[in-house]
Amino acid sequence: MGPERAIAIIEHLRTAVVCLDDENRVLDLNPAAELLFGLSERQIRGEQLAAILPHNRAFCAQLENIKLQDRVYMEHNLHLRCLRQDEMIVECTITPLRVGAIRLLLEFIKVERQLQLTREENRAVLEQATRIMVRSLAHEIKNPLGGLRGAAQLLAQQLKEHAELREHTEIIIAEADRLKHLVDELLGPLRPPHPNLINIHRVVDRVLTLVRAAGHRHVVFQTDYDPSIPELEADHEQLIQALLNIVQNAIEAISEQPGPLQSPGRILLRTRTQRHFAIANRLHRLVARIDILNNGPGIPESIRDQIFYPMVTTRHHGSGLGLSISQELVRRQGGVIVCDQDGSETCFRIYLPIQQPHKERLHGDAP
């Protein structure tokens, strides 16, 4: 295999790959390595690896011994510190080669991202199982509920001349309607998505128009858009609903803080792109990211891993269905929602694929 063929292959790998020459200069790298180092190919190509990793000189010094021994070497839990990135923990595989000018092939895998993918996969399975159980229960409730309401209506017709008794049937009918509404929410969105090419900034603007129309003078809404994000395929209405649920959740969290607000509530909606990002075991070359940040009281650590489950909430009057429905709607678009707690801010991130995923799965062969 020639060097050109080798370079063409590494372009499509999800792992960060760097090719070094005999003097440990960077001959080539793939987009995943650019993302890992936080530098462009133009900034890295031709540079000494030690110059790119100035805080990992001991690691760079080992490369000479690896070339002499001519065997594959693995470094576990390597604390990597690049020029423009925070310290990260990676696994590195170093393979001696003689392909053209290529002498060493370095593969880096972020340990944190692998652990996060595993957690997300396990959480998605549990969320789906919980959602199926809740929907089954909702169906079991909905069937007799219709009969109960119908019987109350018939009874009300028989009691036209007894106003004091009809009051009781009206209570039964009203409560049956309230329970039906709750059951419909538990069943979640039933309409399948109808994807079209959409601009996510129009979706965000529409959501902001809706929440601003409702008042909320105690909350400042801010935006930070990346105008270079291309259109993507998604169901416009379902994406609006998913984003609206998250923003309303943030508004309610800010509103229900105990005591007077020390500073105005703030909700920031930010858009960015991310390359080589995995969603549900599929690697995507490019995804759009919508960040919804708020400076509310945050999510208690005890329920942080369960917030997308149905009926899980910290609010006294909340149903615990908004985030669960949002996750379901976003997953129908091929995306995912994750939540991060960073100091005084809570951030919900919506990831949506822009391009078709690579054919290779991250784990296993079959979907």
Residues 160-199 have pLDDT tens digits of: 777 777 777 888 888 888 777 666 666 666 677 889 999 9
- pTM higher than 0.75 for the full model? no
Over range 247-275, report the average pLDDT: 81
| Exposure class string for 5-43: b at 16+ Cβ within 10 A, else e | ebbeebeebbbbbbbbeeebbbbbbbbbbbbbbebeeee
Res. 286: pLDDT tops 80: yes
Contact between residue 97 and residue 115 where contact means Cβ atoms under 8 Å apart: no
Mean of pLDDT values over 251-271:
78
Q: Average pLDDT for residues 189-210, to the nearest whole number?
A: 88
What does the alpha-carbon distance between residue 140 and residue 172 come to, in Å, rounded to a whole number? 19
Residue 183, amino acid: V
Percentage of the chain exceeding pLDDT 90: 22
Query: Token pair for residue 185?
Result: 């929410």
Give the residue-averaged pLDDT of 250-256: 83
Ranges of beta strands (E only) in 183-318 are 196-198, 219-224, 232-234, 265-279, 282-294
Confidence of residue 201 (pLDDT cuts 50, 70, 90): very high
Instruction: Find out whether 208 and 221 touch, Cβ atoms under 8 Å.
Output: yes
Q: What is the pLDDT of residues 74-101, one digit of tens each?
A: 887 788 887 766 778 888 889 998 888 8
- What is the mean pLDDT of the segment spanning 122-136? 65
- Produce one character per residue of 66-93: b if its CB has 16 or more CB atoms within 10 Å, e if not: bbeeeeebebeebebebeeeeebebbbe
CA 5 – CA 96 distance, rounded (Å): 17
Q: Which residue has the higher pLDDT, 39 or 200?
A: 200
